[in-house]
């Protein structure tokens, strides 16, 4: 097994969107998510995790140890494999097995962590057979992401579009085009903060140095394989990594995050491109033992 990570990390991701919808809000007819009080745009943690999973799935193609547990689209129906879930053993069998091998929970957990990149990274809840007391429990992964928020308030713009292909015969008799809507953000720069606990990596999931490199690669490229009509132009602009010298870390996370200042230029009223912002890393606020890495 590869080397488990030995340092605590924190990271800041800056990504932008141009004429696209980074994350639709199911509560608001798929409009870009907006904090109603302040007008800042939001992208949820799970949205980015989905993209990281997709990237890893694409490059690793389910190779050994890099399977993805939560897939977006699969050729097989899940009901097909529910059958074999019960083939191997049933409630009773598991009880016997547990008597013979009290470590079975731990073994299943390790097995899942070894095989699935996303469980090793983000964790998973594995508590299906509570009745039979088979409970491999909750795995907390070392990588933790917060919500992303835009640097400035965003405006979502509704673009009405037409299409000439009509869905039903009946509609086709009555009209020749149909109207549709797209909701876009003209431009926005978002900031996300993330944490990696080396303790959880060592004691629970075995998240390794190679996994970490793959995670950085996935974060940098997560939008490169996620182009679609809705997204517009999205790109990760900065990945700033703080590497602590110790497993537990050297200083509070908020001090490191505060050391990164992202500011719109004073003469810009409506930011429309990445160069409308400057990114400053206040090195003087960062302890010397913390290594700052700009990955892009």
Residues 115-154 touching other proteins, rule: CB under 8 A, are 115, 119, 124-129, 133-136, 140, 142, 144-147, 149
Distance CA 8, CA 290 (A): 10
Q: What is the CA radius of gyration of the chain?
A: 23
Question: Which residues between 246 and 285 bind other proteins (CB under 8 A)?
Answer: 246, 248-255
CB nearer other proteins, residue 90 or residue 171:
90
CB under 8 Å to 137, separation ≥6 — which residues? 105, 109, 126, 127
Residue 77 or 160: the one with the smaller Cβ distance to other proteins is 77
Separation of alpha carbons 125 and 113, rounded Å: 12
With respect to other proteins, which residue has the nearer C-beta, 24 or 186? 24
Considering the rule CB under 8 A, would residue 245 count as an interface residue with other proteins? no
CA distances for 286 relative to 143, 246, 249, 274, 277, angstroms: 22, 15, 12, 25, 22
Strand partners, 182: 159
Stretch that binds other proteins, among 105-113, 157-165, 178-186, 213-221 (CB under 8 A): 105-113
Binding letters toward other proteins, positions 19-48, x by CB under 8 A:
------xxx-----x-xxx----x-xxx--
Q: List CB contacts of 133: < 8 A, sequence separation 6 or more.
A: 95, 98
* Residue 176: CB minimum distance to other proteins, A: 33
How many residues of this chain interact with other proteins, rule: CB under 8 A? Answer: 71
Site for other proteins in 151-190 (CB under 8 A): none
Q: Which of 74/164 has CB closer to other proteins?
A: 74
The encoded tokens of residue 234 equal 């999205």
Least Cβ distance, residue 166 to other proteins (angstroms): 27
- In the block, tokens 């990271």 appear at 11
- What 3-state DSSP class applies to 39? coil
Kindly state the smallest distance separating residue 50's Cβ from other proteins, in Å.
8
Of the pair 18, 25, the CB lying nearest other proteins is at 25
Whole-number minimum distance, CB 164 to other proteins, in Å?
29
User: Would you give the binding string for other proteins spanning residues 194-223, x where CB under 8 A is met?
Assistant: -x-x-xx-----------------------
Can you give the length of the chain in residues?
Answer: 296
- Is the CB of residue 155 less than 8 Å from the CB of residue 130? no
Q: Which of 39, 43, 278, 240 is nearest to 152 (CA)?
A: 39
Strand partners, 230: none
Pairwise CA distance, residues 176 & 179, whole Å: 10
**C-beta of 115 vs 208, nearer to other proteins:** 115
Q: Is residue 107 a contact residue for other proteins (CB under 8 A)?
A: yes
Whether the Cβ atoms of residue 238 and residue 14 lie closer than 8 Å to each other: yes
**Shortest Å, Cβ 270 to other proteins:** 25
How far apart CA 95 and CA 130 sit, in angstroms, is 11
Any contact of residue 89 with other proteins (CB under 8 A)?
yes
Contact region with other proteins (CB under 8 A), list: 86-94, 152-160, 208-216, 275-283: 86-94
């Amino acid at each position: 097994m590869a080397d488990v990570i030995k340092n605590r990390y924190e990271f800041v991701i800056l990504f932008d969107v141009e004429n696209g919808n980074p994350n639709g809000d199911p509560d608001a007819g798929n409009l870009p998510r907006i904090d109603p009080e302040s007008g800042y745009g939001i992208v949820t943690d799970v949205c980015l995790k989905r993209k990281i999973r997709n990237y890893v799935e694409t490059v690793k193609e389910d190779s050994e140890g890099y399977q993805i547990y939560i897939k977006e689209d699969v050729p097989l129906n899940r009901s097909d494999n529910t059958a074999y879930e019960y083939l191997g053993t049933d409630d009773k069998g598991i009880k016997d097995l547990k008597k013979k091998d009290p470590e079975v929970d731990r073994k299943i957990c390790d097995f899942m962590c070894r095989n699935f990149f996303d469980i090793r990274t983000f964790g998973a809840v594995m508590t299906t057979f509570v009745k039979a007391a088979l409970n491999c429990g909750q795995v907390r992964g070392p990588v933790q992401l917060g919500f992303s928020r835009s640097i400035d308030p965003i405006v979502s713009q509704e673009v009405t579009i037409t299409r000439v292909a009509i869905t039903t015969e009946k509609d086709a008799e009555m009209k020749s085009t149909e109207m549709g809507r797209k909701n876009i953000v003209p431009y926005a720069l978002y900031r996300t903060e993330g944490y990696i606990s080396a303790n959880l990596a060592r004691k629970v999931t075995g998240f390794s140095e190679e996994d970490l490199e793959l995670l950085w690669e996935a974060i940098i490229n997560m939008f490169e394989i996620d182009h679609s009509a809705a997204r517009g132009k999205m790109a990760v602009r900065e990945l700033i990594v703080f590497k602590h010298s110790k497993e537990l870390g050297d200083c509070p996370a908020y001090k490191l995050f505060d050391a990164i200042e992202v500011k719109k230029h004073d003469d810009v009223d409506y930011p429309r491109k990445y160069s409308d912002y400057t990114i400053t890393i206040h090195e003087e606020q960062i302890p010397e033992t913390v290594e700052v890495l700009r990955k892009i």
